[in-house]
Structure 1
């Protein structure tokens, strides 16, 4: 794969407050795992008595359950998304990552349908890539319509997709994909 054959679209960055909340969830998860280990070794459980073993198991399962929930929420808040387009092989990959850990799978360009420009309630223009199964991926936000349109035209030219301008939700328009 040559560099010219690969295009990467990165999801916009998370806000600092989201990163802080995710770090707090990870910290909570590690604290709960630590307490699970400490309690496990410091409790004096008589393994011949069923009631003590049941009480120990209930305590351990709740610590483990809440640590899994905390780690899950932290991971969900910290994961980022890349869309990698391999133009030579006509395929794309939606790749999620947290730090050095990446996962995702390749799909054919035939799943791609169009690029959408939408205006949200905060007057921000969002660019989405729509798939044939009505699924979409939001990948960029712009404050200026012209910048959003230029980016949509660039991507539609590379991927040979149509552009749906739905910045006015009451009047969506399919735009010409060729640049003048």
Structure 2
């Protein structure tokens, strides 16, 4: 159900890396479940092979974690939002109303990450700010994608866009 008055912002798209990791954990789940069942059927005590089922359960938890997605939905007509989590066809999340007329602005900023070797990476974030300096982190991606999405979001919500990607040159963007 795609309605023009509902913006859907995917926070994370399932990457190939996540699918591969989930597949590894799924195979681990199957292995430990089958191993525990075969050994249990040989007449051994269930307690002795309980750890196989425990490992299978833990691995299944990681499968769910790596295959689940989250998106942020904004209903422009009803002035509400929700964070929606999904695993396959199952979705959950509750609509919450924005404080009436209290959406302030959309911001775009750069985040630097460094690892132990000193190598780093950069990602760009979009935040939606509303009353009392409260915000939601809506999206993380590269600069061009975030700028286009932030501009579109600010226009549709009829609020300002603040570009803080350069800490020495923060500016309000003309829409």
Same fold (TM over 0.5): yes
Query: Greater helix share, 1 or 2?
Result: 1
1:72 aligns with 2:61: yes
Gaps of 5+ in 1: 46-55
Larger Cα Rg: Structure 1 or Structure 2? 1
- In the TM superposition, residue 160 of structure 1 has moved relative to its aligned partner by 4.2
Contact 2:139 2:146 in 1 (8 A): no
Output the TM-score relative to the length of structure 2: 0.74
1:82 aligns with 2:91: no
Gaps of 5+ in 2: 113-120
Contact 1:128 1:137 in 2 (8 A): yes
Partner SS state of residue 125, structure 1: strand
RMSD: 3.0
Aligned match for 1:118, one of 97, 109, 114: 109
User: 1-side partners of 2:2 and 2:11: how far apart?
Assistant: 22
Partner SS state of residue 71, structure 2: strand
Contact 2:12 2:71 in 1 (8 A): no
Say if 1:124 and 1:38 are closer, same or farther in 2 by CA, change over 3 A: same
Deviations 1:34-77 (A, max 9, x none): 223223322244xxxxxxxxxx42531x2232222211112112
Moved >4 Å (runs of 4+): 111-114, 130-135, 170-173
User: 1-side partners of 2:19 and 2:126: how far apart?
Assistant: 23
**Matched residues, number:** 164
Aligned to 1:165: 163
Output the TM-score relative to the length of structure 1: 0.72
Aligned to 1:53: none
- In the TM superposition, residue 21 of structure 1 has moved relative to its aligned partner by 0.9
Aligned to 1:29: 29
Contact 1:128 1:140 in 2 (8 A): no
Say if 1:90 and 1:135 are closer, same or farther in 2 by CA, change over 3 A: closer
